[in-house]
A and B are shown apart, each in its own frame.
Chain A
Amino acid sequence: MRLEVRNATFAYRGGDEILRGISFSVSEGDLLSILGPNGCGKTTLIKCLCGMLKLGGGEILLNDKAIHSLTRAEIARNIGYIAQEHGQVFPYSVLEVALMGRAPHLGWFSLPSDKDIGIAEKTLEMMGISHLRDRPYTEISGGERQLTLIAAVLAQQPKMLVLDEPTSHLDLKNQIFILGIMRKFAKEGLSVVMSTHLPNHALHYSSRVVLMGKGGDITVGSAEEVITEENLSKTYGVDIKVLSVSVPMGTNLRFCMPVECAACID
């Protein structure tokens, strides 16, 4: 499983280019974070990655095949995508939502079988939400809803997960929980791509980082290489310090903080 972005360019109709000459690749076991200020095109890039938007120039290759030459079901069997915002109209049960992930594996006229239900139940178990199985999806908390969507996406049995700001509406504990799960998935051989607003998340959890600035300039590399005081300060336009603290386990942990913020602490 390998996803390659080559010289990608994208502009919305009548607008300026949002993505310009972007190249990077994602392989098995990678956990890649996409970091950057509001409006730099993180969501646009993510939608291009899973074939929701078609590039203006360049190409995106999934296992060496152009992504727009694949059918929706073929893409869905390889890539599981969770959007940033998700409105809900009908109160499907949590299990029914998880079952929808089986769609790319079912024929046009088939209903989910007992086997599909088994797979969906298993993914609920993996997310630790088996007890919510029959609850309406519209009546559970935001964190539980995110876990349900991840369960649905896992039911697709994809080789890669693409998540647009998966932690943005979650409390501290759920953020850590979801990031931990993603790290575990990556260790087990899945590829994970996620966008985030928090440099610390990228620094602590990802193996690789794409740092996007406004106007299309990007920096790609390992978290250590990319997340530096210089790069962050330039990208966000505010002074940012990368501090190092020793944690009880005996290692040093780096974390980022805007200087203005640090100045508040007398």
Chain B
Amino acid sequence: MLDTVIFQVRLPRVFAGVLVGASLALSGTSFQGLFRNPLVSAQILGVASGAGFGAAIAILLSAEPLLVQASAFAFGIMAVGLAYLISRTYKSPSSLMLVLAGIIVGAFFSALTSLIKYIADPYERLPSIVFWLMGGLSMVSIDDVVWMLPPILFGITVLMLIRWRINVLSMGEEEALAFGVNVERYRLIIVTCSTLMTAAAVSISGIVGWVGLVIPHLGRMLVGPDHKVLVPASIAIGATYLMLVDDLARTLTASEVPLGILTAIVGAPFFAYLLRRKAVGWR
């Protein structure tokens, strides 16, 4: 009994929380540096909207959990791929074009998700879809954790290796080129890694907001803007933060509060508090 609770239920959930938190925080940090914008998060290129649609359509067609997960992962990656392709059709594929394309693709998939909610059976399928979109780790099994491990570890490893280059990229595209950095190639690497991680995370946790936005700021407050230190710090803070918030989600009330709701309830006021402080790490 104890064995089951610890190894089959609690531990996978703790691991999942750690991995999801680390992924979202690291993606947010990388994107804020790459796009030189402290307001972007892991979701800016439409990965969450894509994953949400993938999950919704899978739930509509069959409620097989593994299929839902795979569909969420695939559509999350597809959405960002689409945004990347759209941005490439412009003459000069800049980061700004990529962000705009991401917003376009995100809006498109959100609309499709609404369409699926509208046509879904309101007694059985609709609640599952809504519940999935709220985000949570209550259904996580050890298999899920094993499954999400490769894409997340890959993303973390590569981003850790190139982390100092994010400093150079964050000086601006022309400046980075002048410093001898191949901006387009690094942009592709960062977007690929962040997308793999976020899609894997979202596919098992549902949509959990306010981690990829807030944690990088907290990291900058604690260790400064240098990505050499900020990247590992974001991973550690994100992992710890989500694990703790998930504990709250599980224990705060008699029935569980969805994690995605709690990260926003905790994250939004916390962000407001951070912005009040002077040294938030950007101007």
Cβ–Cβ contact A138 & B161, under 8 A: no
**B38 at the A interface (CB under 8 A):** yes
**B178 at the A interface (CB under 8 A):** yes
**B8 at the A interface (CB under 8 A):** no
Cβ–Cβ contact B170 & A73, under 8 A: no
**A208 at the B interface (CB under 8 A):** no
Cβ–Cβ contact B283 & A101, under 8 A: no
In the A-B complex, list the 4 residue pairs whose CB atoms are closest, starting with the nearest: A76-B180, A104-B180, A73-B180, A90-B225
Closest A residue to B170 by CB, please name it. A90
**B168 at the A interface (CB under 8 A):** yes
CB distance from A82 to the nearest CB of B (A): 8
Cβ–Cβ contact B161 & A109, under 8 A: yes
Cβ–Cβ contact A89 & B162, under 8 A: no
- A92 partner, pick from B91, B178, B225, beta carbons under 8 A: B225
Which A residues form the contact surface with B (CB < 8 A)? Answer: 13, 50, 52, 71-77, 80-83, 86-93, 96-97, 100-101, 103-104, 106, 108-112, 138, 152-153, 156
Cβ–Cβ contact A103 & B181, under 8 A: yes
Closest A residue to B161 by CB, please name it. A109
Cβ–Cβ contact B175 & A72, under 8 A: no
Q: Please indicate the chain B residues that have their CB under 8 angstroms from the CB of A109 in the complex.
A: 161-162
CB distance from A160 to the nearest CB of B (A): 12
| Alpha-carbon distance between A138 and B162 when the two chains are bound, in angstroms | 24
Cβ–Cβ contact A89 & B178, under 8 A: no
Cβ–Cβ contact B283 & A138, under 8 A: yes
Interchain Cβ contacts under 8 Å between A and B, 19 examples: A13-B91, A72-B177, A72-B181, A81-B178, A83-B175, A88-B171, A89-B36, A89-B170, A90-B220, A92-B226, A96-B225, A100-B171, A101-B179, A104-B179, A108-B165, A109-B162, A111-B228, A138-B283, A156-B179
Cβ–Cβ contact B178 & A76, under 8 A: yes
Among B36, B178, B282, B283, chain A packs the most CB atoms within 10 A around the CB of B178
Q: Please indicate the chain B residues that have their CB under 8 angstroms from the CB of A89 in the complex.
A: 36-38, 170, 282-283
Given A92-B167, A108-B162, A112-B164: A103 touches B180 (CB 8 Å cut-off): yes
| Alpha-carbon distance between A72 and B176 when the two chains are bound, in angstroms | 9
**B267 at the A interface (CB under 8 A):** no
Among B175, B226, B228, chain A packs the most CB atoms within 10 A around the CB of B175
CB distance from A114 to the nearest CB of B (A): 14
Q: Please indicate the chain B residues that have their CB under 8 angstroms from the CB of A90 in the complex.
A: 33, 36, 170, 220, 225, 281-282
| Alpha-carbon distance between A73 and B177 when the two chains are bound, in angstroms | 8
- A103 partner, pick from B36, B91, B179, B281, beta carbons under 8 A: B179
- A156 partner, pick from B161, B162, B180, B182, beta carbons under 8 A: B180
CB distance from B10 to the nearest CB of A (A): 37
Q: Please indicate the chain B residues that have their CB under 8 angstroms from the CB of A112 in the complex.
A: 164
Give B125-163 as 1s and 0s: 1 = Cβ < 8 Å from A's Cβ atoms: 000000000000000000000000000000000000111
Cβ–Cβ contact B167 & A91, under 8 A: no
Among A72, A74, A75, chain B packs the most CB atoms within 10 A around the CB of A72
- A75 partner, pick from B162, B180, B220, beta carbons under 8 A: B180
| Alpha-carbon distance between A71 and B37 when the two chains are bound, in angstroms | 27
| Alpha-carbon distance between A80 and B175 when the two chains are bound, in angstroms | 10
Cβ–Cβ contact B168 & A103, under 8 A: yes
Q: Please indicate the chain B residues that have their CB under 8 angstroms from the CB of A96 in the complex.
A: 167, 225-226
**B174 at the A interface (CB under 8 A):** yes
Among B37, B163, B168, chain A packs the most CB atoms within 10 A around the CB of B168
